[in-house]
Amino acid sequence: MMLVRRDDRGQVAVEFVGMLPLILLTLVLLWQCVLIGYTYTLAGNAADEAARAGAVGDDCQEAGLRNVEGAWARGASVSCPESGGMVRATVTLYVPVLFPGAISFPFGVTGEAGAVWEGDER
């Protein structure tokens, strides 16, 4: 009786090929999370800039969009109503899907900020 020795050469390659789609999917999801977080950061910063500009009587929309570039600038909106001695800025940006400049998700990320009115009496 002859024993046949089973060899496991190539097993690592087969396992890697099987795991590759899962590894790539994980990387894609992590990258998308980075883009979402960056969009929240941009929206918050833009709202802060808009509120500061609006508080001294400058153009808050221009100030809010000054540092928003590329894919994030498309469809961005800024509003700066003043009430009760406060300027409240709201900036809405859209999160790009995987590649900034390609397409965006249909929902917006909102950043809000407020500042006390520092301009002349109205």
d(CA 107, CA 92): 9
Q: Summarize the confidence of residues 55-73 as an average pLDDT.
A: 85
Q: Does residue 37 carry a pLDDT above 90?
A: yes
Percent of the chain surpassing pLDDT 70: 91
pLDDT of residue 122 exceeding 60, the answer is no
User: What's this model's pTM, rounded to 2 decimal places?
Assistant: 0.78
Position 108 scores a pLDDT of 87
Judged against a pLDDT cut of 70, whether residue 1 lies above it is answered with: no
pLDDT tens-digit series, residues 93-108: 988 888 877 777 778 8
Mean residue pLDDT of the chain comes to 85
Tell me, what's the pLDDT at 2? 64
Pick from 95, 100, 59: which is nearest to 79 by CA?
59
